[in-house]
């Protein structure tokens, strides 16, 4: 399947948010610009719209991060794997490697890290190799998964998410000179689930990633506890020889949609993220889950900020449309809410509207059939993307979004609003 603009044949499916033709998707990973195109990999259960442990690595390609062409499954269970879970893709002078979480029954929570290499230049087919590392002894781990690899000097450093029986969320670390032999190097960062000031970071970090943004080391983590997926949190600080020291902790996502972001650098070298968005589609539709639009990361005023990627603005027409038809295709809104309180309504053909309500220092997403969700609003413009059954809201204080009934018109409040069809 190809997700592309130019006419919405199915109003229940987004156009600029990647979906699978059938089945379940979750975590994106390994997004890499290679030979003039972006290669996206993702968790995929092709035979079920409900998550199951026998995850595959789905694969898609794009030239603009918005219109995706489905490619064959890159990795599937078998050959010693009961499930092929989240990981990363690394390129060096010798080619590319996938490092992924290999899980086996009965203890799916404690994965292993295994390698795979491509057998063609288009990265469509991959050959599984060895298990390169397993959970270390002595930490009383109950979870271990999601490798992420970065360059460190002439060598490489890997981080893997973990959680202990006592509720300590961790990123463990290994080093390698050749991406083949890995030496355990201890705990890169940790935080107890009992710590809640200034934000709570759970008892397990899924998909932990340590990256550099605007001169800061950023620890990104998906917050998990007791089989519940919560939000995306982060630490801002510094690192030295694989040890992260947080100067502050923050929260990047709000609501029930965003989880498992994947860091990548775009073709211009900008630091970027793309998220899994939960709750879109479902069993009745035969497909479940989508990926967010891409975001560029920056650090401002002591906070991590995610801004919609410039490829979105590049799709805008020459001028805003004062009365867009939201059923015809995606729209990109720039909203300057009235600081005394404001409201934006997304009206479906029938039934109750979805509303964005600004006031008392928050922006709240109100949707029929869902609990209200809010994020802080310290003022300033909000960027709102509406794409059929998905809405995303980006501001200086974070991201808020989720599924909604596909709207066809827009009712604006008092603040200034500009709307571009995409």
- 3-class SS at 301? coil
- The closest of 57, 141, 135 to 99, measured between CA atoms, is 57
Give residue 14's pLDDT band: very low, low, confident or very high (50, 70, 90).
Answer: very high
Report the C-alpha gap between 44 and 38 in whole angstroms.
18
Average pLDDT, integer, range 328-354: 96
Give residue 93's pLDDT band: very low, low, confident or very high (50, 70, 90).
Answer: confident
Q: Above 70 in pLDDT, residue 399?
A: yes
Report the C-alpha gap between 250 and 244 in whole angstroms.
15
253-254 and 398-403 strand pairing: parallel
Q: What is the pLDDT of residue 206?
A: 98
Q: Please state which CATH class domain 17-306 belongs to.
A: mainly beta
Report the C-alpha gap between 192 and 202 in whole angstroms.
7
- 3-class SS at 255? coil
Give residue 251's pLDDT band: very low, low, confident or very high (50, 70, 90).
Answer: very high
Q: What is the pLDDT of residue 6?
A: 41
Q: What is the pLDDT of residue 66?
A: 97
Residues 255-272: tens digit of each pLDDT = 999 999 999 999 999 999
- The closest of 199, 218, 193, 198 to 208, measured between CA atoms, is 218
258-265 and 409-412 strand pairing: unpaired
Averaged confidence pLDDT in the chain: 96
Please, which residues have CB within 8 angstroms of residue 153's CB and are 6 or more apart in sequence?
A: none
Average pLDDT, integer, range 73-101: 96
C-alpha 302 chain-centroid distance: 22
* Global model pTM greater than 0.95: yes
Q: Above 60 in pLDDT, residue 7?
A: no
Average pLDDT, integer, range 165-184: 98
Residues 151-163: tens digit of each pLDDT = 999 999 999 999 9
Residues 179-234: tens digit of each pLDDT = 999 999 999 999 999 999 999 999 999 999 999 999 999 999 999 999 999 999 99
Please, which residues have CB within 8 angstroms of residue 305's CB and are 6 or more apart in sequence?
A: 297, 298, 299, 396
Please, which residues have CB within 8 angstroms of residue 138's CB and are 6 or more apart in sequence?
A: none
* Domains of the chain by residue range: 17-306, 316-421
Tell me the two tokens of residue 402: 């989720």
User: 20: how many CB neighbours lie within 10 A of its CB?
Assistant: 24
Size of the chain in residues:
422
Q: What is the pLDDT of residue 197?
A: 96
Please, which residues have CB within 8 angstroms of residue 363's CB and are 6 or more apart in sequence?
A: 337, 356, 357, 374, 375, 377, 382, 393, 395, 400
Residue 290 Ramachandran class (φ > 0 left, ψ -120 to 50 alpha, else beta): beta
Q: What is the pLDDT of residue 11?
A: 79
Q: What is the pLDDT of residue 3?
A: 61
3-state helix, strand, coil in the chain (%, to 5): 0, 60, 40
H or E element at residue 193: none
- The closest of 47, 66, 43, 63 to 55, measured between CA atoms, is 43
CATH number of 316-421: 2.60.120.560
Q: Above 80 in pLDDT, residue 1?
A: no
Q: Phi and psi for 310 in degrees, rounded to 5?
A: -55, -20
């Amino acid at each position: 399947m190809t997700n592309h603009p130019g006419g919405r044949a199915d109003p229940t499916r987004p156009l600029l948010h990647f979906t699978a033709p059938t089945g379940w998707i979750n975590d994106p990973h390994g997004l890499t610009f290679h030979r003039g195109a972006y290669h996206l990999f993702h968790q995929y259960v092709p035979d079920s719209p409900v998550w199951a442990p026998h995850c595959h690595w789905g694969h898609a390609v794009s030239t603009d991060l918005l219109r995706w062409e489905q490619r064959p499954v890159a990795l599937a269970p078998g050959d010693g794997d009961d499930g092929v879970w989240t990981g990363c893709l690394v390129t060096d002078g010798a080619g590319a490697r996938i490092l992924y979480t290999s899980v086996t029954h009965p203890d799916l929570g404690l994965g292993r890290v295994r390698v795979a290499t491509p057998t063609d230049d288009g990265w469509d087919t991959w050959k599984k190799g060895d298990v390169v590392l397993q959970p270390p002894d002595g930490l009383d781990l109950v979870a271990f998964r999601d490798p992420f690899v970065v360059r460190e000097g002439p060598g490489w450093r890997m981080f893997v998410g973990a959680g202990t029986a006592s509720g300590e969320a961790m990123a463990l670390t290994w080093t390698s000179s050749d991406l083949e032999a890995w030496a355990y190097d201890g705990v890169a960062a940790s935080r107890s689930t009992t710590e809640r000031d200034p934000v709570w970071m759970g008892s397990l970090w899924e998909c932990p990633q340590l990256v550099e943004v605007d001169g800061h080391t950023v620890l990104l983590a998906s917050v998990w506890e007791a089989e519940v997926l919560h939000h995306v949190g982060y630490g801002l600080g510094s690192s030295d020889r694989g040890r992260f020291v947080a100067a502050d902790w923050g929260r990047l996502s709000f609501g029930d949609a965003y989880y498992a972001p994947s860091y990548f650098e775009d073709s211009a070298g900008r630091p970027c993220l793309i998220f899994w968005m939960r709750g879109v589609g479902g069993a009745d539709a035969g497909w479940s889950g989508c990926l967010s639009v891409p975001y560029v990361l920056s650090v401002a005023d002591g906070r991590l900020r995610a801004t919609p990627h410039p490829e979105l603005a590049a799709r805008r027409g020459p001028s805003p449309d004062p009365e867009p038809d939201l059923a015809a295709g995606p729209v990109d809104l720039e909203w300057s809410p009235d600081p005394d309180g404001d409201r934006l309504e997304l009206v479906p053909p029938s039934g109750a509207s979805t509303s964005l309500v600004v006031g008392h220092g928050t922006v709240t997403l109100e949707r029929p059939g869902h609990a209200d969700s809010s994020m802080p609003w310290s003022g300033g413009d909000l960027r709102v993307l509406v794409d059929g059954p998905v809405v995303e809201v980006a501001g200086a204080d974070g991201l808020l979004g989720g599924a909604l009934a596909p709207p066809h018109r827009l009712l604006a409040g008092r603040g200034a609003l500009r709307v571009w069809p995409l």
